[in-house]
Amino acid sequence: MIRSLVEDCERFGHSLIETAERGRPGLVNRDLVRAIAEHGLFDRLFSEEGVTATDLCAVRQGLARVCTDAETAFAVQGLGAIPIHRAGRGDLRERLMPGIRSGDTIAAFALTEPGAGSDAAALSTVAERDGDGFRITGEKAYISNAPGADLYTLFARTTQGAGARGVTAFVVASELDGFSGETIEMISPHPLGRIVLDGVYVPEANVLGEVDHGFRVAMETLDLFRPSVGAFAVGMAEAALRVATGHATTRTAFGTPIADFQGVSHQLANVRLDIEAAELLVYSAAAAHDSGDTETLTGKAAMAKLHATETAQRAVDTAIQVLGARGLEADSTLAHLYMEVRAPRIYEGTSEIQRNIIARELFNGRL
């Protein structure tokens, strides 16, 4: 079942390459998001039964094998909208989710701030009571789909001095007075930016979950998505290895394919070994999430993300080394992967933070 979904999404990814290439670097590619929706992937992600972490991993792995732009567009739309789908109150979900499902409405997840990254509970964006709603003031940085998203799942402090317990999740529309943003140019071409809120008024109906309990909304979303970051990395590693092995079997040196040289073949064997281990870790973490195994999920998800993203970095670097100068050509698959592969070791928890989590879970007897 998993393998079939991965392969189906890989085949679909091929059909998205042209649409992805028509997008402008650093801007939301709305045509690509709509194409993903037309294939039914958002219906799967936002199903009434609830998407499984296993399915989410399989979709991201399959898309990443051939079209990282499509993978990222799918994942970021999901990250921004899953909190609305799961925690929207009253008619909020019914009003907003149809446009998100169709790809006509672009969503984003706005947690990170200039001074609050890994320590996400240290938010300085403030939401103060104002009549039947809140006025939000602050800045968010390194937000995927910003500033081009239509809706933001945004986290702000509603109770001072309460740490994670004083954070509330809101849906904030980019069209509101006092909302502004700008693009941040990165080495990878994805839309990323900062947003500034200057007393933006948000009604009580736009609260996700309960007031002061928004950190739970954030963590439940990240618990679902963190194993799938590893799946994204596995897909990229597989793509790099595919290029390298194809080259090694056809490129000759001194009258023999370079695959016959142990200096090459052993490097690629090690990459394949690491990919296999990463994939097993990813789907083990996904299974823990889907079975409700909250005791081991945190540690398993951290191990999956850490090992898979580090493996992808090594896989791409090794593949470029095997191809030599060809791997550095600007329009090559490996050059594209080289720009893409670095970021997953940072977002949704850096490699160093993952090691901290693993150590903590180990000494607490949960690993």
Active-site residues, by number, are 348
CB atoms within 10 A of CB 343: 18
Closest C-alpha to 68, from 236, 231, 307, 318 = 236
Q: Which residues contact 154 (CB under 8 A, 6 or more apart)?
A: 110, 111, 125, 136, 140, 169, 170, 171, 172, 197
CA dist., res. 118 & res. 282, Å (int): 21
CA dist., res. 362 & res. 296, Å (int): 10
CA dist., res. 109 & res. 168, Å (int): 13
Backbone angles phi, psi at 113, to 5 degrees: -125, 165
In the block, tokens 């090459």 appear at 264
Element at 131 (helix H, strand E): none
Q: Would you mind telling me the total number of residues written for the chain in this entry?
A: 367
**Helix or strand or coil: residue 193?**
strand
151-157 and 133-144: which strand pairing? Answer: unpaired
Max CA separation in the chain (angstroms): 80
**Helix or strand or coil: residue 296?**
helix
Element at 181 (helix H, strand E): strand 179-183
